[in-house]
Amino acid sequence: MQNKNGNYEKGLLVAAALIAAGIVGYLIWDSQSISDRLILRTGSSKNVLNPPPTSGVLAVFQRLTEKVSWVSPVIKGKPVPLNKSIILMQKGDDIYDLQTEDKPLRPPMTNAFLIRNELPNIESPNVGALDADNDGFSNEEEFAAKPQTNPMDAKSRPPVIQKLFLKQRLTHDYKIKLNSSSPPYQVQRTTPEPKGSKFVSPGDEFGFDKGIIRFKAISFEQKIVKDDKVGEKDVSELKCLDSATKKEFVLIRGSETNLAEYEAEFEFRIGNPEIRKVKQGETFQIPGIGITFKVLSIEENQAVIVPVDGEKPAGEQVTIKKG
C-alpha cells in the first residue's frame, strides 16, 4: 500500500516538472522575438488626403480673393442694417417690426421716432404721455411739434407758449343807457354799482368813476318809430366813443347797452402751474421767456394775443385755446 502511494506522488512531481519546463521555454522564446514586434510599421495616415485636383485649388483661391459688395436686405422698401439686430415688439397677439412704418407700435408716434431718439419705456402703453427729458412736454407733444423736437434733450422742446391755456373767461358787466332825447342828454350807468348819471352834449367827455374819463359823446340823432302798444316810440340815438376799447357804440333811448369787460384767466402749465388774470387790451408776460404779450380779444373758448414791443406788435398773433 505504501509502495502505491509513493509511485503516485512521484508521478505528480514529474508532471509538475514538465509543465514548469514548458513555461520556461515559452518565456525564453517570447523574449527573443519581442524586438521584431517593437519595430514601427509604416502606413498611410487617415488624416493625409489625396492631393486635390489643380483646377479645384484655383477655383477656391479665386473665390477667396474675390471682392464681395455687401448689400443690406430690404424689407418693405427699407434697408435692414447688417450690423444691428432687428427690434421686434409684441403687443397683444401682434408682432411689430420697428424697422418698418406700416404698423406703428405707439401711434401717433412713428416707429422711426421711437428708435431714432432711443426712447425708454417703449414697451409701456402710455409712453407718449411720459416726459423723458423733464422739459414740461410729453414725448407725444415733442413728436407733434413742427419741426419735431428731441424728447431726450431738455434744451430741445416746442415753443413754451404752447403750454399757455385759457382756463376761463371772466365777464364784468358794464351797462349804460340813454334816458332823454333833449339836450343835454342824460346817460345813466346801471351796472356795476354804484349807479350814476351824466348830462352830456356832443363833444363832451365823461365818466362815471371819480377821476376817470372813459367816454366821449360824438353825435345825437332824433328817431321816432311806430309802436303797436304806445303808438309812437322814441328810439333816439347817441353815438359815443369808448376810450378803453377805442371803439364806437350807440346808445338807444330807453335800452341798456352792455359794454362788458372781459378778463382772461390764463394758466401756464410748465413746472408749478401759474394763473394770470388779464383784461382785454392789457399786457402780460409768460414766466421765463421774457416776451410781453397783449390781449387782443377774449371769447368764451379762446383768446387772441400778440407779442409786442412797447405798443407795437413784434410778431404774429397767437390763438390760445381753452383747456
| 243 lies in the same domain as 197 | yes
pLDDT digits (tens, 9 = 90+) for 246-302: 899 999 999 999 999 899 999 998 878 889 899 999 999 987 778 899 999 999 999
On whether residue 207 sits in a domain, the answer given is yes
* pLDDT of res. 245: 85
If one counts every other C-beta atom within 10 angstroms of the C-beta of residue 268, the result is: 20
Which cell numbers in the block locate residue 81? 442694417
CA angle 293, 294, 299 (to 5 degrees): 115
Residue ending a domain, among 258, 291, 312, is: 258
Which cell numbers in the block locate residue 294? 397783449
| 304 lies in the same domain as 249 | no
Which cell numbers in the block locate residue 244? 378803453
* pLDDT of res. 97: 85
pLDDT digits (tens, 9 = 90+) for 192-204: 999 999 999 999 9
| 233 lies in the same domain as 294 | no
Mean pLDDT within 214-226: 95
Residue 81's pLDDT band (cuts 50, 70, 90): low
Longest dimension (CA), the chain: 188
**For residue 277, what are the contacts with CB-CB under 8 A and spacing of at least 6?**
170, 263, 264, 265, 266
Residue 56, pLDDT > 70, answer no
Rounded to two decimals, the pTM is 0.57
**Among residues 225, 234, 240, 241, which one has the least CA distance to residue 255?**
234
Number of domains composing the chain: 3
Residue 102, pLDDT > 90, answer no
Residue ending a domain, among 231, 258, 285, is: 258
CA angle 184, 187, 190 (to 5 degrees): 160
Exposure of 61 by Cβ count < 10 A (0-12 exposed, 13-18 middle, 19+ buried)? Answer: exposed
On whether residue 199 sits in a domain, the answer given is yes
* pLDDT of res. 99: 81
Cα 246 to Cα 229: distance, rounded to the nearest angstrom: 38
On whether residue 146 sits in a domain, the answer given is yes
If one counts every other C-beta atom within 10 angstroms of the C-beta of residue 139, the result is: 26
Which range, of 59-63, 100-104, 187-191, averages the lowest pLDDT?
59-63
Which cell numbers in the block locate residue 130? 411720459
* pLDDT of res. 231: 84
* pLDDT of res. 133: 92
On whether residue 170 sits in a domain, the answer given is no
On whether residue 36 sits in a domain, the answer given is no
Please say whether the beta carbons of 189 and 176 come within 8 A.
yes
Residue 144's pLDDT band (cuts 50, 70, 90): very high
If one counts every other C-beta atom within 10 angstroms of the C-beta of residue 303, the result is: 25
Cα 189 to Cα 172: distance, rounded to the nearest angstrom: 14
* pLDDT of res. 38: 47
| 252 lies in the same domain as 182 | yes
Exposure of 176 by Cβ count < 10 A (0-12 exposed, 13-18 middle, 19+ buried)? Answer: buried
On whether residue 311 sits in a domain, the answer given is yes
211-218 LR contacts (CB < 8 Å, sep 24+)? 213/243, 214/242, 214/243, 214/244, 215/187, 215/240, 215/241, 215/242, 215/243, 216/240, 216/241, 216/243, 217/185, 217/187, 218/248
More confident of the two residues 317 and 101: 317
Residue 9, pLDDT > 70, answer no
| 139 lies in the same domain as 208 | no
Residue 88's pLDDT band (cuts 50, 70, 90): confident
The alpha carbon of 205 is separated from its chain's Cα centroid by a whole number of angstroms, namely 55
Which cell numbers in the block locate residue 89? 415688439
pLDDT digits (tens, 9 = 90+) for 24-54: 666 666 655 555 554 445 555 555 555 656 6
Q: Tell me the residue range of the domain where 216 lies.
A: 175-258
Please say whether the beta carbons of 132 and 119 come within 8 A.
yes
Mean pLDDT within 300-320: 93
| 253 lies in the same domain as 182 | yes
| 232 lies in the same domain as 269 | no
On whether residue 208 sits in a domain, the answer given is yes
Mean pLDDT within 132-158: 93
pLDDT digits (tens, 9 = 90+) for 150-173: 999 999 999 888 999 999 999 999
Mean pLDDT of the chain: 84
Residue ending a domain, among 243, 258, 273, is: 258
On whether residue 90 sits in a domain, the answer given is no
**For residue 26, what are the contacts with CB-CB under 8 A and spacing of at least 6?**
none
Residue 220, pLDDT > 90, answer yes
3-class SS at 13? helix
| 148 lies in the same domain as 184 | no
Cα 235 to Cα 238: distance, rounded to the nearest angstrom: 10
Which range, of 17-21, 289-293, 311-315, averages the lowest pLDDT?
17-21
